[in-house]
A and B are shown apart, each in its own frame.
Chain A
Amino acid sequence: GQNIDQPTEMTATEGAIVQINCTYQTSGFNGLFWYQQHAGEAPTFLSYNVLDGLEEKGRFSSFLSRSKGYSYLLLKELQMKDSASYLCAVRGLRNNDMRFGAGTRLTVKP
C-alpha cells in the first residue's frame, strides 16, 4: 500500500518563501509529483522528481530523498495567486498509476 502525508494547511506572506513537505511510504516507486489545484478547478502539473536532489523551475523547486521517503516543494517570491492547494503524488510501478496525498492548502497574505 501507499501512505502519503503532507500538512493540511499553511500560511505565508506575499514575497516570502514557503516549503511544503511530503513524506511517503510505497511498495513501488516510479517518481514523485507536485500539482497545484485552485479551488473548484482541476489539478495542474508543477514538478517531477525521480532521482534524489533538487529540480528547479522558475519560482518553484522540488526536492526528493528516496532513502528517506521525503520530498518538499519550495515556492519563492510568493504571489497572491499562489494561494491554492498543493498535492504531492507518488507514481507506482503498475501502469503508471498515481496516488495523491490529501493536499496542503496554502494561503498567501499581503
Chain B
Amino acid sequence: SQTIHQWPATLVQPVGSPLSLECTVEGTSNPNLYWYRQAAGRGLQLLFYSVGIGQISSEVPQNLSASRPQDRQFILSSKKLLLSDSGFYLCACPIQGAYGYTFGSGTRLTVV
C-alpha cells in the first residue's frame, strides 16, 4: 500500500520569507498528486495537481507554486509568504486499487 511522507509537521515562518514543503510517495508509481490547504475551521481547498513529472495544474491564483521534479516527489513553494498562507497543507494521491485518496500527515504552517 502507498504511503505519503510530508515534512515538516509544523512550521512557523515570518511574513515575506520563502517556503518549501516536500511530499514524497512510496508504494506506487506515476500517481496523480494533489496539494490541498485547509484554513482554520474550513474545508480543503485544492491548490495544485500533477499527473506526471513536470506537469502542474494550478487551481487558485496566489503566491504559491508547485513542482514535480521526480515521479514520487511533489513540492510546494513560495518566494514570499503572506499571513493568509497560514493553514494545514496536505498532499494526497489516489488509493491504488481502490477509491478515495490517501493523505500525508500534513504540515501546519503559521505565518507571523
Contact = CB atoms under 8 A, between A and B. Distances in A.
Interface of A: 4, 31, 33, 35, 40-45, 48, 87, 89, 95-103
A101 B36 CA distance: 13
Interface string B45-69: 1100101000001010000000000
Interface of B: 32, 34, 36, 42-46, 49, 51, 57, 59, 90, 92, 94-95, 99-106, 108
B95 A45 contact: yes
Nearest to B41: A102
Contacts of A35: 100
A66 to B, nearest CB: 16
A42 B49 contact: no
Contacts of A31: 99
Contacts, number: 51
A101 B101 contact: no
Contacts of A43: 44, 90, 101, 103
A33 B99 contact: yes
B57 A100 contact: no
B99 A103 contact: no
Nearest to A97: B49
A95 B101 contact: no
Given A42-B106, A45-B95, A95-B32, A101 B43 contact: yes
A41 B51 CA distance: 26
B34 A97 contact: yes
A89 B90 CA distance: 15
Given A35-B100, A48-B99, A95 B90 contact: no
B43 A95 contact: no
Q: Which residue, A48, A89, A100, A101, has most C-beta atoms of chain B within 10 A? A: A100
Contact of B101 (A4, A98, A102, A103): A98
- Which A-B residue pairs are the 10 nearest by beta carbons? A45-B100, A102-B43, A42-B103, A48-B99, A100-B44, A100-B43, A42-B106, A33-B100, A97-B49, A101-B43
